[in-house]
Structure 1
Amino acid sequence: MTARQPLPVASAEGLVKRFGAGPAALDQVSIAIRPWQMTGLVGPDGAGKTTLIRILAGLMTADAGTLDILGGAPIDALEDIGYMPQRFGLYEDLSVLENLTLYAELRALPKAEHDATFDRLLTFTDLKRFQSRPAGKLSGGMKQKLGLACALVRTPKLLLLDEPGVGVDPISRRELWSMVSDLTEEGIGVLWSTAYLDEAENCDIVYLLNDGKLLFEGPPEALTDGIEGRVIKVTDFDDNRRHVLTRALDRSDVIDGTLQGRAVRLLVKEGCAPPDRTVLNEGEQTRVSQASARFEDGFIDILGGGPTGTSQLAQNYREIPVSDAPAISANGLTKKFGDFTAAEDMNFTVGRGQIFGLLGPNGAGKSTCFKMLCGLLTPTSGTGAVAGKDIRRAAAHARSSLGYMAQKFSLYGDLSVAQNLAFFAGVYNLGGAAAKAAIGQMTELFNLGDRLNVNAGTLPLGFKQRLALACAVMHQPPVLFLDEPTSGVDPVARREFWTHINGLVEKGVTVLVTTHFMDEAEYCDSVTLIYRARQIASGSPDDLKAEAARITGAGDPTMEDAFIALIERSEQSNAPGLAA
């Protein structure tokens, strides 16, 4: 006999929400959030996740359907609801403690309870030593911890978290997850919206939205159980792994695929037998073995599969001339801000047509290194070159040879899509017919035609990413700098993005990328792990995973396992560095 489930702290039946005359943002969506449980909410960009959370929080009303929050309407339960929005919503000029004080006053927490509450929350989030620091100067992980603390100034019965892990490194994400898991043990009902499907896999119950409709509800294993036997791993081939992945994804019997070190991981279409070991590599033998299904496989499957392998962007890109000279080099690059060393003695080279990854926790020094090579920061010492041009002596020429996607959406939100494309065509010295042709090509390749007159700041994240990439590549540079290009973007849009990058690399484009998605690090030819301003490990993704296996004794570690194991080893060896 199964135990009875506790009554929900929040439930909704048949919610409908429309904005204007278009399709419904929510279309007959039902959900139940129970105490002592972690409820996951997943779906692509624009699926309706944030709309649903805002309705549950009482910030928006539904057009139809019923809603019960703690036995009544949201307005009657505000004191018992904790809400953390998708974007960092705190005041960056106020200190950690001042933000907590402001939220305590907004939530009418009695003054007599302030000191004890703040002490508890600062201890819980490990922010006590940073309580005087302005919120704007916190790392990404620390900002999310502060956001969580502010949502908890009055201990809620219902906690709504809208993608709390966006832009946060794996260590900080695990810390956040652990903190929130502890809250569920106190009987709090938690709704955790996420773009990281490994997080969803650890939830008790998951709801999957797409285009405002509920496609799945239930325990995560119910989704993965349905695709067991359809996930395969292809190894032991001599050909370029990107070729193998592209060919596989262009097949009708393969609906998804990713790189996993030197291997290619594929999801086979339902009802189809796994491809023969010779057909995936143009007649050459490969090894095809079964792989365990993951929640992400089920997610992609229920959405109908990912993109095909051939990138139309790459098909229309010029071939970058072959060269033995490094496309990117860093030799002792160091950057200091007064007494603070942000990046110290960075050394690496990247050959033509390779992807090089800079990995590390928030605040480790990745973006500083990145910006020195882009010519956006002048090194304190050391040298570097991009496309053969010295970043000190010829910074302007170096910048003209690269395309740049910034960590945060850096285009002009108040300008339309067409105006942004025109502006960046001018920045890259494309004029007249060349500019018109480039803008037309980017508009077609990235399906931006029906959004040309829409302000860029109002686009969904997936389309913002498309526009940012279009602006970065319209002059067809030989080198691309991508600073956390897919932060907050759903797995389907991320696959589309990496299809383009893989295709460009095959044309000889060189890519320098930073990312917090460790599955994306698998696409890199080599990576360097930066911690406390220094490089602590370098090599291929497989090299780092093998080193992690030696450290932990665990077999077949993931890139996230390697990331954490190598940083923990650095901590234990008391490597010199700087406080967070």
Structure 2
Amino acid sequence: MTETLVRIDGVTKRFLENGTPAVEALTAQIKSGQVTGLVGPDGAGKTTLLRLIAGLLLIDDGTLRVCGFDPKTHAAPLHRVVAYMPQRFGLYEDMSVIENLELYADLRSVIGTERDEAFARLLSFTGLESFTGRLAGALSGGMKQKLGLACALIKRPRLLLLDEPSVGVDPLSRRELWRLVYELVDQDIGVVWSTAYLDEAERCASVLLLSEGKALYQGPPQALTRSLEGRTFQVRNISGERRAVLARALERPAVIDGVIQGRSVRLVVGKGGVAPAPGDIGAGPEAVIAAVPPRFEDAFMDLLGGGPRGRSPFADAYASREHPIDSVVEAQDLTRRFGTFTAADGIHFRVKRGEIFGLIGPNGAGKSTIFKMLCGLLRPTSGTARVVGLDLAKAPSEARARLGYMAQKFSLYGDLSVRQNLEFFAGVYGLGGRRRRDALKRMVETFALGPHLDVDASTLPLGFKQRLALACAVMHDPDVLFLDEPTSGVDPRTRREFWSHINAMVANGVTVMVTTHFLDEAEYCDRTALVYRGRIIATGAPDDLKERARGAGRSDPTLEDAFIALVEADDRESLA
């Protein structure tokens, strides 16, 4: 029988006395023995709410009871029954797995036989028994999250708070993380899972959807999803450019949201709205618009008022470009070894002008290594990397001037302001005079950075950090854009805005290379390569990879289904 672990009644939290509340007049409940999803756009108040529940922040108004305790007056007993895994990796990267566990055991006063039993149980539970001596910083993203979970569970809690635990984690590791959490739920532990990935919200028994610190919805995700029935459609058999079809559809007043799904386009219409005819959005004579079941993400976007509207400024700012060569990015037998370890093995592909080419694969598969070789940031052990016909080994400076690179982790200067970062990268790219002024103005306007120009980059919300990183990568009008996990942890609305800019650039001939763990995002790619253990094990359009996973109970597989099926098939072949 479930019990109410958290009672939130009219809770408000401000960080400035007269500022906008981070959490405002919030009323909600969290129960034991189930996963409660905490979802919302960047800056909605999710992390603030988790910290209030964990007793790390104190409320300004209202009433909060956690496992029967008032965090203001009974912090110590509350901390004994609540475990919190923060959004950022809160472990010590220069310490080993077992040293991190020992530290957390010391902090929680877990000693003697209880300590030995906890270590054995948690190492077995997370599958980290073989990695106790490895430094935490050397773990893959999925293994880091497992270690973080183990440290949070060093003492068995009644309530576990997880702040975006799957950010940067590949689908295989994410599935394993969910398996571990469901085992905890079976032990009647209450779990709060904050997430920007709304396919995860569909796995929760209940969701609390926040926006600007206020609750827009609390209840089963399926109930909210059903409210969109009859309003979700897919444009199929498109002839011509599907990105242009999406852009035209989003100009229709009835269409409140849209995304690319492989060769098709998914649309959501507003209440009382009618889906546009294929001819009205230039989808071609063979195109059809079919009703499809709604997803939780559709309902989420509907509650927020729909996705970004209007044309991206890049649609007009970018000059259409032509290249005398067909293959703008080329990898020929690229191999990179680190000592005896081969991170990339005989990588070979070509990317055409105006194409989006995606690299997908598990953590540690070699995607970032391939990217760095193609950007000239890492010298290959053997093989050749070319960008716009330039060999990166022979003409690295000239090649780098033709490309833009957005790194996996926020790689700008956190102690410089937004303005100073933009000025610095303008100088790096050799922009001067009027071209420099025009580029800076365009970036500030395009990414709505004006109110944040004097703010240190390290203090920006994640969505604005990503905007700034993209602005710095494209201000010099590169021919090729490399995006390494560009929207990791970013909410769906910000992700759509981001891709509207990318699509506009591609329409004008920019070539894009992208890595991503969020496979709905990989649907934007023209082609994808699945990298596993340093090798490319499958290449093709997203729909082609999905087709390879059809069967064995999968009548309509997702790209994530295809990802897992292809990796597991390669494992079976390796063992044969």
Assess if the C-alpha contact under 8 Å between 2:325 and 2:389 holds in 1: no
Partner residue in 1 for 2:574: 574
SS in 2 for 1:278: helix
Aligned partner of 2:180 in structure 1 is 179
In structure 2, the partner of 1:9 is: 5
1:337 equivalent in alignment to 2:338: yes
Structure 1 CA distance for aligned equivalents of residues 319 and 428 of structure 2: 20
**CA–CA separation in structure 2 for the residues paired with 1:510 and 1:542:** 20
Write the letter of the residue equivalent to 1:340: F
Correspondence 1:506 to 2:504:
no
CA distance in 2, matches of 1:394, 1:417: 31
Amino acid at match of 1:34: K
Q: Equivalent residue of 1:52, what SS? A: helix
Asked if the contact 1:232–1:291 (Cα under 8 Å) also holds between the matched residues in 2, the reply is yes
Given that residues 408 and 485 in structure 2 are in contact (C-alpha distance below 8 angstroms), is that contact kept between their aligned partners in structure 1?
A: yes
Corresponding residue number in structure 1 for 2:554: 554
Compared with structure 1, are the counterparts of its residues 226 and 33 closer, same or farther at alpha carbon in structure 2 (3 Å cutoff)?
same
The alpha-carbon deviation at position 16 of structure 1 amounts to 0.2
In 2, the alpha carbon distance for the partners of 1:323 and 1:50 equals: 50
SS in 1 for 2:550: helix
Contact 1:277/1:288, CA 8 A, preserved across alignment: yes
1:118-133 to 2 correspondence within 5 Å?
118-133=119-134
Secondary structure in 2 aligned to 1:9?
strand
Query: Equivalents in 2 of 1:206, 1:454: separation in Å?
Result: 33
Which sits farther off after the overlay, 70-79 or 152-161? Answer: 70-79
Per the alignment, residue 245 of structure 2 pairs with 244
For residues 47-84 of structure 1, give each alpha carbon's deviation from its aligned partner in whole angstroms, at most 9, with x where no partner exists.
00000000000000010111111111231221111110
Corresponding residue of 1:68: 65
Q: Distance in 1 between matches of 2:396 and 2:197?
A: 37
Q: Does 1:273 align with 2:269?
A: no
Q: Distance in 2 between matches of 1:379 and 1:368?
A: 9
1:51 pairs with 2:48: yes
User: Which residue of the partner structure matches residue 440 of structure 2?
Assistant: 439
- Matching of residues 431-580 of structure 1 within 5 Å: 431-550=432-551, 552-574=552-574
Deviation at 1:111, TM superposition (A): 2.7
The offset of 1:407, in angstroms, is: 0.1
Aligned-partner residue type, residue 409 of structure 1: F
Instruction: Give the partner amino acid of 1:31.
Output: A
1:269 is displaced (CA, Å) by 1.2
Alignment-mate amino acid for residue 11 of structure 1: R
Match of 2:308 in 1: 307
Do the aligned residues in 1 keep the contact of 2:8 with 2:63 (CA within 8 Å)? yes
State the match for 1:254 in structure 2.
255
Offset, 1:325: 2.4
CA positional deviation for 1:396: 1.3
Choose the corresponding residue for 2:34, options 31, 34, 37: 37
Q: What's the CA shift string for 1:427-476, capped at 9, x where partnerless?
A: 10102222122111111111111111000110001111111111001000
Once superposed, what is the RMSD of the aligned Cα atoms?
1.2
> Judging changes above 3 Å, is the alpha-carbon distance between structure 1 residues 55 and 358 closer, same or farther for their aligned structure 2 residues?
same
CA contact (8 A) 1:325 1:388 kept: no
CA contact (8 A) 1:309 1:499 kept: no
Equivalent residue, structure 2, for 1:413: 414
1:68-101 CA-partner distances (Å, limit 9, x unpaired): 1111123122111111000001000110000000
Using structure 1 for the length normalisation, give the TM-score: 0.97
One-letter identity of the residue aligned with 1:132: G
1:462-497 Cα shifts (integer Å, max 9, x gaps)? 111111111001000010000000011111100000
* 1:309 Cα deviation from its structure 2 partner: 5.4
Distance in 1, matches of 2:125 and 2:22, equals 36
Aligned-partner Cα distance in 2 for 1:137–1:98: 14
Structure 2, unmatched stretches of 5+, are none
**How does 1:356-367 map onto structure 2 within 5 Å?**
356-367=357-368
Cα drift, residue 283 of structure 1: 7.1
Change (3 A) 1:323 1:575: farther
Q: Is the 8 A contact 1:405 1:468 kept in 2?
A: yes
1:106-150 Cα shifts (integer Å, max 9, x gaps): 011123321111011000000010110000000000000000000
CA distance, structure 2, for counterparts of residue 30 and residue 410 of structure 1: 38
Aligned counterpart, 1:395: 396
- Report how far residue 575 of structure 1 moved: 6.7
Partner secondary structure for residue 77 of structure 1? helix
- Greater CA deviation, 311-320 or 469-478? 311-320
**Which letter does structure 2 place at the counterpart of 1:46?**
G
Partner of 2:25: 28
For 1:322 and 1:376, the matched residues in 2 are separated by 24
- Per-residue deviation, residues 10-61 of structure 1 (Å, max 9, x unmatched): 2211110111132110001122111111100000000000000000000000
1:415·1:455 contact (CA, 8 Å) conserved in 2? yes
CA displacement at 1:217 relative to structure 2:
0.5
Shift of residue 553, structure 1, vs aligned partner:
4.9
Closer/same/farther in 2, CA of residues 518 and 282 from structure 1, 3 Å limit: closer
Amino acid at match of 2:466: Q
Over 3 Å counting, the alpha-carbon distance change for 1:131 and 1:543 in structure 2 is same
Matching of residues 190-339 of structure 1 within 5 Å:
190-281=191-282, 284-308=285-309, 310-339=311-340
Distance in 2 between the 1:515 and 1:6 partners? 38
Matches of 2:508 and 2:362 in 1, distance apart? 31
Please tell me the residue identity of whatever aligns with 1:234.
V
Instruction: Give the secondary structure class of the aligned counterpart of 2:549.
Output: helix
- 3-state SS, counterpart of residue 39 of structure 1: strand
Give the residue type in structure 2 aligned to 1:70: C
CA contact (8 A) 2:239 2:286 kept: no
Give how far 1:270 is off.
Answer: 1.1
Shift of 1:223: 0.8
- Residues 325 and 388 of structure 2 are in contact (CA less than 8 Å); yes or no, is this contact kept in structure 1? no
**Residues 277-286 or 184-193, more deviating:** 277-286
Distance 1:258 1:333 in 2: 33
For residue 549 of structure 1, give the secondary structure of its aligned residue in structure 2.
coil
Letter in 1 for 2:352: G
How much does 1:284 deviate?
Answer: 3.9
In structure 2, the partner of 1:19 is 15
Q: Quick one: distance in 2 between partners of 1:311 and 1:242?
A: 12
- The 1:351–1:156 alpha-carbon spacing in structure 2 relative to 1, beyond 3 Å, is same
Is the alpha carbon distance of 1:61 and 1:431 closer, same or farther for their aligned partners in structure 2, counting shifts above 3 Å?
Answer: same
The Cα shift of 1:222 comes to: 1.2
Paired with 1:529 and 1:43, the residues of 2 have a C-alpha distance of 30
209-218 vs 305-314, greater mean Cα deviation: 305-314
The aligned counterpart of 2:424 is 423
Shift of the 371–95 alpha-carbon distance from structure 1 to 2, 3 Å rule, reads same
Q: Distance in 2 between matches of 1:93 and 1:146?
A: 14
Answering whether residue 96 of structure 2 is matched by residue 99 of structure 1, we say no
Within 2, Cα distance between the matches of 1:476 and 1:248? 27
Of 147-156 and 393-402, the range deviating more from structure 2 = 393-402
- What amino acid maps onto 1:567 in structure 2? V
C-alpha deviation, 1:285, in angstroms: 5.0
**Contact 1:323/1:352 (CA < 8 Å) preserved in 2?**
no
Give the Cα separation in 2 of the matches to 1:505 and 1:277.
Answer: 23
